[in-house]
Protein backbone atom coordinates (compact mmCIF):
# COMPACT_ATOMS: atom_id res chain seq x y z
CA UNK A 1 0.00 0.00 0.00
CA UNK A 2 1.37 3.36 -1.03
CA UNK A 3 0.18 6.65 0.43
CA UNK A 4 0.60 10.09 -1.08
CA UNK A 5 -0.41 13.21 0.82
CA UNK A 6 -2.26 15.59 -1.48
CA UNK A 7 -3.18 18.26 1.07
CA UNK A 8 -2.35 18.54 4.77
CA UNK A 9 -3.97 21.41 6.65
CA UNK A 10 -4.50 21.78 10.42
CA UNK A 11 -8.07 20.41 10.22
CA UNK A 12 -8.16 18.70 6.80
CA UNK A 13 -6.13 15.93 5.18
CA UNK A 14 -6.43 14.54 1.65
CA UNK A 15 -4.41 11.44 0.93
CA UNK A 16 -4.25 9.06 -2.04
CA UNK A 17 -4.19 5.37 -1.10
CA UNK A 18 -2.82 3.37 -4.03
CA UNK A 19 -4.22 -0.02 -4.92
CA UNK A 20 -7.29 0.01 -2.67
CA UNK A 21 -10.96 -0.26 -3.60
CA UNK A 22 -14.37 0.31 -2.03
CA UNK A 23 -13.98 -2.66 0.34
CA UNK A 24 -11.08 -1.22 2.31
CA UNK A 25 -12.08 2.41 1.87
CA UNK A 26 -15.57 1.86 3.32
CA UNK A 27 -14.09 0.21 6.40
CA UNK A 28 -11.57 3.03 6.83
CA UNK A 29 -14.17 5.76 6.28
CA UNK A 30 -16.61 4.13 8.70
CA UNK A 31 -13.97 3.77 11.38
CA UNK A 32 -12.87 7.37 10.93
CA UNK A 33 -16.46 8.55 11.37
CA UNK A 34 -16.50 6.73 14.74
CA UNK A 35 -13.23 8.40 15.79
CA UNK A 36 -13.38 11.27 18.28
CA UNK A 37 -12.62 14.64 16.73
CA UNK A 38 -13.55 13.65 13.15
CA UNK A 39 -16.17 15.96 11.66
CA UNK A 40 -16.28 14.26 8.23
CA UNK A 41 -14.57 11.48 6.31
CA UNK A 42 -15.11 10.76 2.62
CA UNK A 43 -13.32 9.12 -0.26
CA UNK A 44 -13.51 9.42 -4.02
CA UNK A 45 -12.39 6.87 -6.59
CA UNK A 46 -13.12 9.09 -9.55
CA UNK A 47 -12.40 12.76 -8.91
CA UNK A 48 -13.77 15.08 -11.61
CA UNK A 49 -10.34 16.40 -12.49
CA UNK A 50 -8.95 12.88 -13.15
CA UNK A 51 -11.03 12.13 -16.22
CA UNK A 52 -11.43 8.50 -15.11
CA UNK A 53 -10.79 5.83 -12.50
CA UNK A 54 -8.04 6.65 -10.02
CA UNK A 55 -6.66 5.36 -6.78
CA UNK A 56 -8.96 6.46 -3.96
CA UNK A 57 -8.48 9.85 -2.37
CA UNK A 58 -9.46 9.95 1.30
CA UNK A 59 -10.41 13.30 2.83
CA UNK A 60 -10.63 13.76 6.60
CA UNK A 61 -12.01 16.92 8.20
CA UNK A 62 -11.52 17.33 11.93
CA UNK A 63 -12.73 19.58 14.68
CA UNK A 64 -10.50 22.49 15.64
CA UNK A 65 -7.50 21.26 17.64
CA UNK A 66 -7.63 17.69 16.31
CA UNK A 67 -4.84 16.63 13.95
CA UNK A 68 -6.23 14.66 10.98
CA UNK A 69 -3.06 12.53 10.82
CA UNK A 70 -3.62 11.48 14.43
CA UNK A 71 -7.20 10.46 13.64
CA UNK A 72 -6.00 8.39 10.68
CA UNK A 73 -3.50 6.62 12.94
CA UNK A 74 -6.19 5.99 15.57
CA UNK A 75 -8.57 4.59 12.94
CA UNK A 76 -5.88 2.31 11.50
CA UNK A 77 -5.14 0.92 14.97
CA UNK A 78 -8.85 0.37 15.58
CA UNK A 79 -9.22 -1.56 12.31
CA UNK A 80 -6.22 -3.72 13.19
CA UNK A 81 -7.64 -4.46 16.65
CA UNK A 82 -11.11 -5.32 15.27
CA UNK A 83 -9.60 -7.64 12.65
CA UNK A 84 -7.52 -9.38 15.31
CA UNK A 85 -10.55 -9.81 17.58
CA UNK A 86 -12.58 -11.21 14.67
CA UNK A 87 -9.80 -13.62 13.72
CA UNK A 88 -9.55 -14.93 17.28
CA UNK A 89 -13.34 -15.38 17.50
CA UNK A 90 -13.41 -17.12 14.12
CA UNK A 91 -10.59 -19.51 15.06
CA UNK A 92 -12.21 -20.46 18.37
CA UNK A 93 -15.63 -20.94 16.72
CA UNK A 94 -14.33 -23.33 14.09
CA dihedral 55, 61, 66, 70 (to 10 degrees): -10
Nearest to 14 by CA among 46, 36, 43, 51: 43
Give this prediction's pTM: 0.88
List domains and CATH numbers for the chain: 2-93 (3.30.1360.10)
**Residue 22 in contact with residue 35, Cβ under 8 Å?**
no
User: What's the pLDDT at 12?
Assistant: 98
Cα separation, 41 vs 5, whole angstroms: 15
> Distances from the Cα of 84 to the Cαs of 29, 40, 61, 76, 90, in angstroms?
19, 26, 28, 12, 10
pLDDT in tens, the chain (94 residues): 899 999 999 999 999 999 999 999 999 999 999 999 999 999 998 766 656 668 999 999 999 999 999 999 999 999 999 999 999 999 999 7
**Residue 29 in contact with residue 58, Cβ under 8 Å?**
yes
Amino acid sequence: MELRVIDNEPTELSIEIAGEDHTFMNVLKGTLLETEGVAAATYDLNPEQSGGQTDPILTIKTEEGTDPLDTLSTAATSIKDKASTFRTAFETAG
